[in-house]
């Protein structure tokens, strides 16, 4: 016997509660609780249960996961070397960023290698998918299309047609009959994901789920989805800009923070093999406040320009903005400059920007931010063939960072001649590099040598 019950879910983190609350105890967000009806099945008399028991690890067979290459190098790298069979991945991103396009391209590459692929769409009609498919190139073999939103039908289709790879576009349009709440609600999204996980594991199919994101940049509905799936990829970038960045934020089968860079063209997404080159395109020469840094994104070094604009404020409270990097980190670095070097930034507006629409979180760009701010404040440009990296501490010390040699190599490839880096990195350098290296140990030294 099933009984209908009303429960409340936090639409941010998926916290469940029997009554409505103003603030979520889970994620401390306000006004996020939504009401949903769920059917609970009443259990009959408890049947006698047999208990499972733990096993010794040495008895467990070690399996190497089977990977399917997508023939898209950037995507394969983000996934850690291809799609793992039997895994469930979530692809998030703003509407129109190119999620459906990318996955359809993956489908094309797989069917052209004679793999069986099922594309389930709850958003577009078969005609629309066909039109898109014609834009992105030829399908030499058949792709199975299924425009359906009912989970039971989709499950049945997967079991019958036994594909190797399934795309569910999108999770917010799918619903399970077991629940009475509407498609896209927290309980539906969770239920559908959980069931897809079960199918992926039981039938050894790789499943990719598309999820829309909210303004805050998380997959709409619960963040708990991220815990349920094996891999989470996010598509970032401005819809207007041509470049799109695919970032791995969770990966049970590989490293995270690996990025793939794509360009949206009229015939679909094209890989960008050398992102540093495009990130530095159009860089101003001899301008104060512009600095090139080198950040490691996963296993790949990327050169990016940081721009800072410091000007005397005409407000009571100086304005501070940061685009592409953490706002609090910028404030912290400005405080370091104020206290340790004696720059009077308190009366200045500060705008710090990463060129190219990228977002970076690596501390190795700290030193670049410091120099960009100081360069703009003093109106002294940094030599254009200079690259800077290093982490900065609160005492104003410059700390060593990992992968020093790799960063220098990338800079050399793009024609840089001088590198300002932590002294610790220079000391640890094993090979001789063909570049002028300036090792610094605190912020004051950096500003002196510029
Ligand atoms: P889409 O993959 O539908 O985005 P999502 O599934 O993430 O919502 O991308 C649609 C956008 O991409 C749309 O604005 C048109 C553009 N586009 C191209 O520029 N070239 C192409 O070849 C395709 C298929 C789409
Ligand atoms: Mg889409």
* Most ligand 1 atoms within 8 A of CB, residue of 91, 101, 266 to mutate: 101
Burial 29-68 (b: 16+ CB within 10 A, else e): eeebbbebebeeeeeeeeeeeeeeeeeeeeeeeeeeeebb
pLDDT at 221: 58
Render pLDDT for 159-213 as a digit per residue (tens, 0 to 9).
999 999 999 998 989 999 888 888 888 888 889 999 999 999 999 999 999 998 8
pLDDT at 338: 94
CATH fold, domain 277-449, is Ribosomal Protein S5; domain 2 (3.30.230)
Q: How confident is the model at residue 318 (pLDDT cuts 50, 70, 90)?
A: very high
Spell out the SS3 assignment of 56-72.
CHHHCCCCCCCEECCCC
Lowest mean per-residue pLDDT among 43-47, 65-69, 441-445: 43-47
The answer, as to whether pTM is greater than 0.85, is no
* Most ligand 1 atoms within 8 A of CB, residue of 264, 265, 269 to mutate: 264
Level-2 CATH architecture, domain 66-273: 3-Layer(aba) Sandwich (3.40)
Tokens found for residue 234: 């996010």
pLDDT at 166: 96
Q: How confident is the model at residue 311 (pLDDT cuts 50, 70, 90)?
A: very high
Q: 309: Cβ below 6 Å to ligand 1?
A: no
Strand order in the sheet with 16-17: 16-17, 2-10, 33-41
Closest CA to 446 of 323, 283, 293: 293
Q: Which numbered atom of ligand 1 lies nearest the CA of 104? A: 2
In angstroms, what is the span from residue 428 Cα to ligand 2's centroid?
Answer: 48
CA 182 to chain centre: 28
Whether the upstream peptide bond of residue 43 has omega within 30° of 0, thus cis, is no
In angstroms, what is the span from residue 101 Cα to ligand 1's centroid?
Answer: 6
pLDDT at 116: 94
Q: 99: Cβ below 6 Å to ligand 1?
A: yes
Q: 136: Cβ below 6 Å to ligand 1?
A: yes
Q: 98: Cβ below 6 Å to ligand 1?
A: yes
pLDDT at 13 over 70: yes
| Dihedrals phi, psi of 196, to nearest 5 degrees | -65, -35
Q: 319: Cβ below 6 Å to ligand 1?
A: no
Q: How far apart are CA 219 and CA 211, in angstroms?
A: 6
Q: Where are the beta strands (DSSP E) in 280-374?
A: 290-297, 300-312, 320-323, 348-354
pLDDT at 420 over 70: yes
pLDDT at 390: 96
Lowest mean per-residue pLDDT among 7-21, 36-50, 170-184, 384-398: 36-50
Assess whether the region 66-273 and the region 277-449 belong to the same CATH fold.
no
pLDDT at 16: 85
Q: 346: Cβ below 6 Å to ligand 1?
A: no
Instruction: Provide the mean pLDDT of the chain.
Output: 89
pLDDT at 49: 65
Q: What percent of the chain shows pLDDT beyond 70?
A: 94
Q: How confident is the model at residue 42 (pLDDT cuts 50, 70, 90)?
A: low
Q: How far apart are CA 387 and CA 383, in angstroms?
A: 9
Q: Which numbered atom of ligand 1 lies nearest the CA of 169? A: 6
In angstroms, what is the span from residue 182 Cα to ligand 1's centroid?
Answer: 27
Render pLDDT for 214-263 as a digit per residue (tens, 0 to 9).
666 555 555 678 888 999 998 887 767 778 889 998 999 888 878 899 99
Strand partners, 440: 422
pLDDT at 193: 93
pLDDT at 79: 93
What are the extents of the domains in the chain? 2-41, 66-273, 277-449
Instruction: Measure the N-to-C terminal CA separation of the chain; round to a whole number of Å.
Output: 76
pLDDT at 38 over 90: no
CA-based angle 288:442:439, to the nearest 5? 80
Q: How far apart are CA 31 and CA 104, in angstroms?
A: 37
Q: How far apart are CA 78 and CA 310, in angstroms?
A: 37
């Amino acid at each position: 016997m099933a009984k209908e019950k009303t429960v409340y879910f936090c639409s941010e983190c998926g916290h469940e509660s029997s009554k409505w609350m103003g603030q979520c105890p889970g994620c401390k967000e306000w006004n996020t609780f939504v009401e949903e009806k769920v059917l609970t099945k009443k259990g009959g008399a408890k049947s006698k249960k047999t208990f499972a028991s733990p096993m010794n690890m040495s008895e467990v067979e070690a399996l190497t996961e089977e990977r399917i290459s997508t023939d898209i190098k950037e995507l394969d790298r983000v996934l850690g070397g291809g799609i793992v069979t039997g895994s469930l991945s979530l692809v998030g991103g703003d509407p129109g960023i190119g999620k459906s396009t990318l996955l359809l391209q993956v489908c094309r590459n797989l069917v052209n290698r004679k793999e069986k692929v099922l594309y389930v769409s709850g958003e577009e009609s078969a005609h629309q998918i066909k039109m898109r498919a014609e834009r992105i190139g030829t399908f030499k073999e058949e792709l199975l299309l299924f425009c359906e939103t009912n989970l039971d039908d989709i499950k049945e289709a997967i079991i019958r047609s036994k594909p190797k790879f399934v795309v569910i576009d999108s999770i917010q349009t799918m619903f399970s009959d077991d629940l009475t709440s509407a498609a896209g609600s927290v309980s539906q999204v969770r239920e559908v994901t959980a069931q897809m996980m079960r199918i992926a594991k039981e039938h050894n199919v790789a499943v990719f789920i598309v999820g829309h994101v909210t303004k805050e940049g998380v997959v709409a509905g619960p963040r708990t989805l991220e815990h349920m799936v094996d891999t989470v990829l996010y598509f970032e970038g401005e819809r207007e800009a041509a470049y799109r960045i695919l970032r791995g934020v969770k990966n049970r089968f590989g490293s995270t923070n690996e990025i793939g860079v794509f360009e949206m063209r009229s015939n679909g997404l094209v890989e960008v093999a050398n992102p540093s080159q495009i990130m530095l395109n159009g860089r101003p020469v001899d301008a104060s406040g512009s600095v090139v840094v080198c950040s490691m994104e996963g296993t790949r070094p990327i050169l990016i320009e940081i721009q800072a604009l410091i000007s005397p404020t005409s407000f009571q409270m100086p304005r501070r903005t940061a685009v592409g990097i953490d706002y609090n980190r910028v404030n912290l670095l400005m405080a370091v400059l104020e206290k340790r070097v004696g720059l009077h930034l308190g009366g200045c507006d500060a705008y710090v920007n990463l060129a190219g629409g990228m977002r970076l979180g690596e501390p190795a760009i700290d030193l670049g931010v410091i120099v960009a701010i100081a360069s703009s404040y003093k109106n002294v440009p940094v030599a254009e063939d200079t690259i800077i990296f290093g982490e900065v501490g609160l005492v104003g010390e410059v700390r060593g960072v990992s992968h020093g040699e790799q960063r220098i190599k990338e800079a050399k490839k793009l024609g840089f001649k001088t590198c300002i880096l932590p002294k610790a990195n220079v000391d640890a350098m094993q090979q001789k590099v063909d570049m002028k290296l300036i090792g610094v140990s605190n912020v004051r030294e950096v500003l002196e040598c510029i």
